[in-house]
Amino acid sequence: MSTTLSYDRLSEEEKHAHFMERIEKGDKIEADDWMPDDYRMTLIKLISMHGISEIMGALPEKEWVPKAPSLRRKLGIMAKVQDEMGHGQLLLRVAEDLMKPLGKTREEIMQDLFRGDLKFHNVFHMPAPTWGDAGLIGWLVDGAAIITQTNMLKASYGPYARALKRICAEEVFHAQHGEAIIMALAEGTEEQRPLIQDAIDRWWESLLMFFGPASASTTGASKQDTTIKYRIRTKTNEELRQDFLDKYIPRVLSLGLTIPDETLHYDKEKGQWVYRQPDWKKFKEIVRNNGPKSKDRLDLRITAYENNAWVREALSPDGAVV
């Protein structure tokens, strides 16, 4: 009681210093704890984007849910997209708690998405025209997601760290599901094998973009410094991209596939991969909802939202018959 009272009497600067002290010694911040406004805003942006990306991320695979070529594959991809939706829900709940003091709800998250103010991940703006893409999304996109999400497992914000723990565990299954599809195609017929190479060629640039620009100077904006300062993440975008390349380049090559970048090589002295930079101008356009599939996928969600307005009305407190 006395600590709470004295805490209330602290100046904003003192509260901030106390907060930094807490996160620096590894304390977890909880939803009702005092936090600096920019910490809250950074988390809301990060987590609502993460949550909505999980939800939008189900759409590229949606096409392949019924088309999966066997009962086992159908069950596998159905389980995967259900997980993704579940992650989206879990994360939106975390974001909602953070938004509560601002008087905002999930409704605002959805409206922000529809207006284009809330961005979703660059990879989910891209087309997935073959079954090879369905496999590659599981294998490499989920593989990349595991790397970025593992980087935040020790996040200073407790509810996010706990959600990520569960999400990462499930993502490992997704990557295995994707890998199994890719392996079957790699060992398959002359018609099946090219499906993987075509998918790699299509997705390579997006996979590099996945980790974001190396610094703010590339695209004019990057939150990575703030998120590192606040102990939400530990590694930079470039470090994560290098981890991804370390892990997956040998695997891709071992399947007899090529990577569509003839400049790609490992610089032993620097201990890192040298690669052709993706077109970061294109990246900016993609996340501004000007990617090849941005409009179609947003349209799907907007159509569903409008079409189900009567259901929301029926479920609202005013809609129920007492």
- Specify the residue, 115 or 312, whose C-beta has the smaller distance to another protein: 312
CB of 158 to another protein, least distance (A): 22
- How many residues bind to another protein according to rule CB under 8 A? 53
57-87 core/surface letters (b: 16 or more CB in 10 A; e: else): bbbbbeebbeebeeeebeebbeebbebbeeb
- Specify the residue, 66 or 250, whose C-beta has the smaller distance to another protein: 66
Cα distance between residue 77 and residue 253, in whole Å: 25
200-211 core/surface letters (b: 16 or more CB in 10 A; e: else): bebbbbbbbbbb
Residues pairing with 266 in the sheet? 273
Mark residues 281-320: x for contact with another protein by CB under 8 A, - for none.
---------------x--xxx-xx--xx-xxxxxx--xxx
- Specify the residue, 12 or 187, whose C-beta has the smaller distance to another protein: 187
Mark residues 114-153: x for contact with another protein by CB under 8 A, - for none.
-----------------x----------------------
CB of 14 to another protein, least distance (A): 40
4 binds another protein (CB under 8 A): no
DSSP single-letter state for residue 27: P
Helix 237-254 vs helix 142-150: crossing angle, to nearest 10: 140
The one-letter amino acid at 215: S
- Specify the residue, 66 or 103, whose C-beta has the smaller distance to another protein: 66
- Specify the residue, 64 or 160, whose C-beta has the smaller distance to another protein: 64
CB of 91 to another protein, least distance (A): 10
- Are 34 and 15 in contact by the 8 Å Cβ rule? The answer is yes
The one-letter amino acid at 213: P
Cα distance between residue 10 and residue 14, in whole Å: 6
Q: Which residues would be at the binding site for another protein (CB under 8 A)?
A: 55, 58-59, 62-75, 78-79, 81-82, 85-86, 88-89, 92, 131, 181, 184-185, 187-189, 191-192, 296, 299-301, 303-304, 307-308, 310-315, 318-321
